């Protein structure tokens, strides 16, 4: 579903070259909740962002649903991006828009009819348990509720892939648990393959079936969660 082949990424910064990714090869299968874990600076975020082209690899290939991103036309890239939702550590909601409008936003950018938007957003708010908050603004919500809005918005265009960038890192343990439970339901009920990055081991153990461990731009270990973390 998502294949990384020998992906390299260098940043030029103040005359120095930083090698953020040093030849990453990974396969995320359809239906996975795939976790990438590593310390800050390991390259996790850069890797995640190559999947929806927020970053472009310096070399190597990223293949999503059989499409090599480096050779896709702008038009195909746009339709591919609709198939990929993303959630963030700081939620990235629009503070001047209601919960309803935050979730509706990706649909308002497209050709979806007024009626379909009402239905789709209503369904998603119900799914994440925020029907009552449709007219609230982000600053009236708890962190966990904000992330629920983020998840509903990420699902608006009915994607088959969800990218999660430290989605629970700003939340307390109890709220983290409820968001992880929701992500499991996203995976199972909406058939969404999830690629998540985190620095928290318990997050991986809680929800992921497969994991890759990154250190300094490279994958140093990967496999089933039970196998990888069973190693002494």
How far is Cα 120 from Cα 108, in angstroms, rounded to an integer? 12
Q: How far is the CB of 174 from ligand ADP (least distance, A)?
A: 25
Q: How far is the CB of 11 from ligand ADP (least distance, A)?
A: 3
Q: Considering the complex, state which of residue 38 and residue 159 has its C-beta at the smaller distance from ligand ADP.
A: 38
Nearest to 58 by CA among 15, 23, 84: 23
Q: Considering the complex, state which of residue 101 and residue 206 has its C-beta at the smaller distance from ligand ADP.
A: 101
Q: How far is the CB of 75 from ligand ADP (least distance, A)?
A: 27
| Whole-number Cα distances in Å, 99 to 96, 104, 153 | 10, 9, 9
Read off the DSSP letter of residue 29.
Answer: P
Q: Considering the complex, state which of residue 113 and residue 231 has its C-beta at the smaller distance from ligand ADP.
A: 113
Give the residues lining the site for ligand ADP (CB under 6 A): 11, 13, 18, 20, 38, 40-46, 98, 100-101, 118, 122, 134-135
How far is Cα 207 from Cα 44, in angstroms, rounded to an integer? 18
Q: Considering the complex, state which of residue 20 and residue 69 has its C-beta at the smaller distance from ligand ADP.
A: 20
CB distance 167 to 87 below 8 Å:
yes
How far is Cα 69 from Cα 122, in angstroms, rounded to an integer? 33
Q: How far is the CB of 96 from ligand ADP (least distance, A)?
A: 11
Q: Considering the complex, state which of residue 10 and residue 160 has its C-beta at the smaller distance from ligand ADP.
A: 10
List the 210-215 sheet strands across, edge first: 84-88, 161-165, 193-198, 33-38, 210-215, 218-224
Q: How far is the CB of 192 from ligand ADP (least distance, A)?
A: 22
């Amino acid at each position: 579903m998502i294949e990384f082949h020998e992906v390299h990424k260098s940043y030029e910064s103040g005359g120095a070259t930083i090698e953020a990714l040093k030849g990453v090869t990974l396969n995320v299968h359809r239906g996975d909740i795939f976790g990438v874990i590593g310390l800050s600076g390991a390259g996790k975020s850069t890797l995640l962002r190559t999947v929806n082209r927020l970053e472009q690899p310096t070399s190597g290939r990223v293949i999503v649903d059989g499409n090599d991103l480096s050779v896709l036309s702008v038009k195909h890239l746009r339709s591919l991006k609709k198939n990929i939702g993303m959630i963030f550590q700081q939620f990235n909601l629009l503070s001047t828009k209601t919960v309803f409008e935050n979730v509706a936003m990706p649909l308002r950018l497209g050709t979806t009819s007024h009626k379909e938007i009402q239905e789709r957003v209503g369904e998603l708010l119900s799914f994440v348990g925020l029907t009552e908050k449709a007219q609230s603004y982000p600053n009236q919500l708890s962190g966990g509720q904000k992330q629920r809005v983020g998840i509903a918005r990420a699902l608006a265009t009915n994607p088959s892939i969800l990218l999660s960038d430290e989605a629970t890192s700003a939340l307390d343990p109890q709220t983290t648990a409820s968001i992880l439970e929701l992500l499991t339901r996203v995976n199972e009920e909406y058939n969404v393959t999830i690629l998540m990055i985190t620095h928290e081991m318990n997050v991986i153990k809680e929800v992921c079936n497969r994991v890759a461990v990154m250190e300094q731009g490279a994958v140093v270990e990967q496999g089933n969660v039970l196998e990888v973390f069973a190693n002494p």
